[in-house]
Amino acid sequence: EPEVTQTPSHQVTQMGQEVILRCVPISNHLYFYWYRQILGQKVEFLVSFYNNEISEKSEIFDDQFSVERPDGSNFTLKIRSTKLEDSAMYFCASTTRGVYEQFFGPGTRLTVL
């Protein structure tokens, strides 16, 4: 069964460093998302991406964040200058219908020291 994959599974970085989180969505999906989950809390929406542009973003997704689909298979989330409060699990999701049945990857645990 096709699935969303994410790399790395765990990323440790120093405050102020740039990180890039990578995702390979399900191959025939057209809509891509990033969510994050701070430890012990609920999953929060960051950004949605369709047709090579951002379609929606949350207040969390400020100028320090960017997303890109550099080729036909990868979808990346970049954090330019990480802060301690960026420590969280980051989930990529995708869907084919452009509606709501989103399929999530296993996540990248980001630890900012």
Partner 1 sequence: GQQLNQSPQSMFIQEGEDVSMNCTSSSIFNTWLWYKQDPGEGPVLLIALYKAGELTSNGRLTAQFGITRKDSFLNISASIPSDVGIYFCAGPWAGTASKLTFGTGTRLQVTL
Question: Does 65 contact partner 1 by CB under 8 A?
Answer: no
Q: 112: which residues sit within 8 A by CB, 6+ positions away?
A: 13, 14, 15, 82, 83, 84, 85, 86, 87
72 — phi, psi (to 5°)?
Answer: -80, -5
Nearest CB to partner 1, comparing residues 16 and 98: 98
Cβ 21 to partner 1, closest distance in Å?
13
Cα gap 102→104, rounded to integer Å: 6
Question: Binding mask 70-89 vs partner 1 (x if CB under 8 A, - otherwise)?
Answer: --------------------
Instruction: Provide the minimum distance between the beta carbon of 106 and partner 1 in the complex, in angstroms, as a whole number.
Output: 5
The single residue among 55, 73, 74, 111 that binds partner 1, judged by CB under 8 A, is: 55
